Chain A
Amino acid sequence: MQASDLFRQMARARAFEDALAALWRGGHISGEMHLGTGEEGVAAGVAACLRSGDAVALDHRPTPVLAVLGVDLAAMLREMLGREDGLQRGRAGHMHLMSRAHLAAASGIVGSSGPLGAGFALAARALRPGSVSVAFFGDGAMNQGMLLETLNLAAAWRLPLVLVCKDNGWAITTRSESVTGGSLTERAAAFGLPAADVDGADATAVARVAGEAVERARRGKGATFLRARVSRIEGHYLGDALVRAGRAPIAEGRELLGAVTSAALASTGGGVGARAASVFRLLNLMRLARRQDRDSKADPLERARRKLPDGEAARLEEEAAAEVERAVEAALGVEPGTGAPGGIT
């Protein structure tokens, strides 16, 4: 896989996520919107190793992988706009995007992609020998029982499964390290699975280790666990209150900070030390949530840009932006080139 091919896919996925953000802000997409901005290196790197007949089980951030796998962008957009002509006729929304043709299915229940992926692997072995399954999930899901059970099942049944943990360091508003014992990779290894760490911002590195894991699964040698470190560029979901409070404490965080301060000063409650520990922890979380990783070296797009010849990245990003713009216009039913309504730029 050429670096430029990986970058093309990452650029498509990023342009798609950015279009989703604009549509959500404009009120065209309802409910929560969990973007995979920052996970494009994992999506592109893993998907580059897959072929027709392979299956993917996805979590609540499914769109980068689906975009890279070639699911119709306009159909996905129409789905998230709640339209009858959407991918799933407006029944699902982003957390439950599914394409039977691609053997790809997402779920909004943390950890559930593990057992689903194991089932996909079981069917692959029985019905499509040489095919594999990939389950994507986050580090938060690594503390979910059903996922830990899946690690064991995958090892015990030697399933043709690649378990991809996208480790962004967060479990919603909780720092994973504060609620996780031991190392995730060592945990998987303890189940008897080969386990590797990879920099998820480096799509080439992801493609290399995922390629080995996929080949191993194709040859009937069993499952592999990959931990890919990624960045959560847009918070847990768009409009993440912790991110907003961290980035604009006066405008967005005033209410939260006011409530916290007056509660910490209440006449009854914990000791001074306990209260101080709580307030310090909250302020620290706001500081961490505030981080802007876009276009830094934690951003897989920026990392890949630096490796490409002059002008190449810009050209591929323009192509991706144009493709996504056409998809948005097609989804909204706008005449090409006349612009889109409702806060979409």
Chain B
Amino acid sequence: MARMKFGAAIDAAVAEAMALDPRVVLLGEDVHAIRAPLFARFGPGRVLAAPISEAAFLGAAVGAAMAGLRPVAELMLVDFIGSCLDALLNQAAKIADFTAGDWRVPLVARATCGGGYGDGGQHEQALWGLLAGIPGLTVVVPSTPADAHGLMASALRSEDPVVFLEHKLLSEAWLEWLGRGGRDTVAFDVPEAGAEGEVTPGEVVPIGRAAVRRPGRDVTVVSLAVGVHRAIAAAERLASEGIECEVLDLRTVRPLDREAIAASVARTRRLLVVDEDYREFGLSGEVAAAALEAGLAPRFARVCLEGTIPYARHLEKAALPNAERIAVAVRSLCR
């Protein structure tokens, strides 16, 4: 066990894989700087700084994966998927199906996601629902350093494409680069339990398994990433009112752990989804469908992002799921 920050825990998993397997290469914009220790250790032949050409380097990562490498392609911000979605949507996700499973694409697409530091609507999106809507992709979004490490280890072992998203409020270096910039005049609502914690190097967290973060009998609160910590904060507040929330951390968006959702909802009969992604046509509706398809008809509510993330910090705070909104929604379900 070692105490690690969230981003360092991910990099440790990448370093382990690179040390063991020369086919693992890292490529993307500015990787010499954002992964400077990996660059220094493995050299410019395995840590390749790319031009601002997402469509080309993510597309090339797909080809490289098909032809024998195991690339980790870094996209900086998941918002930038807008300029290179084809590589995932029409290439990586479809190769295995086109070849009836004969040709696999062992690619990890790593990107940051999420808001809470005032960077505005083109740099703070979650977008895991959009990506998880594509059959053939696996999408993981950890909420703790241990999961971040273990899910990256799993992603690196996967024979199929995995999108690995790290939330910027949890990822110390990204928050420093994009939010703080060396200033002591700004503050962020960083969930401590998510930003730093105990990690067992080499431990693998299986893809597709949710984790109960807090048991409870009254309401199932399904969330992921920073939302998990907001839900736990709300649950602690609600416990003093006699309402016990069960907080379920999805950890993987696709494949969704439908059994875990159904098992919890079968007991609580109330379901709240806390999702930093857009409310409509996304994850929150899919979680509701998982309950319905399991033959359950829980009372249902969701706390999600309603639209474009506003730049102003007070508007941003209100737009992103927070403990107050979660508590209000839980109370309405229990009324």
Contact = CB atoms under 8 A, between A and B. Distances in A.
Q: Interface size for chain B: under 10, 10 to 19, 20 to 34, or 35 or more residues?
A: 35 or more
B314 interface: yes
A2 B118 CA distance: 40
A279 B40 contact: yes
Interface string B35-75: 01111111111110111111110000000000000000000
B179 interface: yes
Given A108-B120, A240-B181, A263-B38, 4 more contacts: A30-B117, A145-B56, A174-B33, A274-B46
Contacts of A144: 52-54, 83
Nearest to B187: A27
B118 A285 contact: no
Contacts of A31: 117-120, 123, 178-179, 311
A55 to B, nearest CB: 20
A127 interface: no
Interface in B140-195: 176-183, 185-186
Contact of B118 (A82, A237, A259, A260): A82
B80 interface: yes
Interface of B: 18-19, 29-30, 32-34, 36-47, 49-56, 79-80, 82-83, 117-123, 176-183, 185-186, 308, 310-315
A343 interface: yes
23 contacts: A25-B185, A31-B119, A31-B178, A82-B311, A82-B312, A90-B311, A93-B118, A96-B122, A140-B51, A145-B56, A171-B52, A173-B32, A173-B34, A174-B51, A256-B36, A269-B18, A273-B43, A274-B44, A277-B44, A278-B41, A279-B40, A282-B39, A343-B185
Nearest to A259: B37
Interface in A230-271: 237-242, 244, 252, 256, 259-264, 266, 268-271
Nearest to B35: A263
A263 B40 CA distance: 6
Interface of A: 24-27, 30-33, 79, 82-84, 86, 90-93, 95-96, 107-112, 140-141, 143-146, 171-174, 176, 178-180, 237-242, 244, 252, 256, 259-264, 266, 268-271, 273-275, 277-279, 281-282, 285, 342-343
Given A266-B41, A269-B19, A278 B178 contact: no
B83 A275 contact: no
Among A27, A179, A242, A270, chain B packs the most CB atoms within 10 A around the CB of: A270
A82 B119 CA distance: 11
Contact of A93 (B36, B120, B179): B120
A239 B40 contact: no
> When A and B form their complex, which 8 residue pairs have the shortest distance between CB atoms, in order from nearest?
A239-B181, A274-B43, A30-B118, A27-B185, A82-B312, A93-B311, A90-B312, A263-B37
